Amino acid sequence: MKRPSKWRSAEKWWTGGIVPIDVGRSLRIVPYWESWRPRSNRHDVIIDPGASFGAGDHPTTIIALELLEKTVNDEFITDKTISLLDVGTGTGVISLAARAIGCNFVVACDLDPSAIYLVQRNIRLNSTIHPELKENGVNLYVGPVQVVGSVFDIVVANLAAPVLLRLKRDLVACSGSYLILSGIPDSMFDLVKKEFSLACTWLERTIRLREWNGFIFRTS
């Protein structure tokens, strides 16, 4: 398929060189200006990054997605309903990826209302290739994690490490089985690991990409 000519002259300055990237074993994150390309054999997740939320290519997002994919593939049977909470959703890339790889009930929350509007746009962009999003997509909330008031099989929080520490009690409380954390620089690795190890049942896995780290904790 030929690239639409209207994009060629402008793409260098407004896309920032962002291109589709493969993540883990089955995901591909596609900026919406590249969605004209033929579908891959992976689960494509189309993302409009908006003004400041990123296109899903930051190391902390890649870490969260890889840990999520591993958790779903290795720890859950395919016919089980899997619930997931995405804390600080941003563009919704984690929520949309979760739906693509088999999480049936997904809730996303963010303190920033503009993030929720952006997730709604990204749901619409993805509903063309994932029809299930039209009827049972992602449940959205504006507010802190406490507003959700439920327990989920998987909780994912890709947030700055000091925020993770501040929300520790709430994140653990709403995580029924697995808690996935990302956004942790090398300088805070030991502190975050220690604090959440004391609050969770055990540490299942760590992953590092460049100077960033992520964890999977078992909470039950």
Per-residue confidence in pLDDT tens, the chain, 220 aa = 444 444 444 444 445 567 889 999 999 999 988 877 777 789 999 998 876 556 567 899 999 999 999 999 988 866 678 999 999 999 999 999 999 999 999 999 999 999 999 999 999 999 888 777 776 789 999 999 988 889 999 999 999 999 999 999 999 999 999 999 999 999 999 999 999 999 999 999 999 999 999 999 999 8
User: Within a domain: residue 32?
Assistant: no
* Domain assignment of residue 176, yes or no: yes
90 found inside a domain: yes
Per-residue pLDDT at 95: 96
Sort strands 105-110 and 152-158 into parallel, antiparallel or unpaired.
Answer: unpaired
Note whether residue 117 is domain-resident.
yes
Q: What is the pLDDT of residue 136?
A: 72
Quote the DSSP letter at residue 32.
G
Which strand ranges, in their side-by-side order, compose the sheet holding 83-87? 139-142, 105-110, 83-87, 152-158, 175-185, 212-218, 202-209
Report the pLDDT value the prediction gives residue 75, as an integer from 0 to 100.
84
Domain that holds residue 199: 57-218
Output the pTM of the full model: 0.89
Could you list the beta-strand ranges (E) of the chain. Answer: 21-23, 27-31, 43-47, 83-87, 105-110, 139-142, 152-158, 175-185, 202-209, 212-218
148 is a domain residue: yes
Q: What is the pLDDT of residue 79?
A: 65
- What pLDDT does residue 55 have? 59
Number of domains in the chain: 1
Domain of 119, CATH number, reads 3.40.50.150
Residue 72 has a CB neighbour count (10 Å cut-off) of 21
In a domain, 51, yes or no: no
In a domain, 45, yes or no: no
Note the Cα 205 to chain centre separation in Å: 17
User: Residue 110 domain-assigned?
Assistant: yes
CA 185-47-216 angle, to 5 degrees, is 35
Residues 200, 32: Cα–Cα separation, whole Å: 38
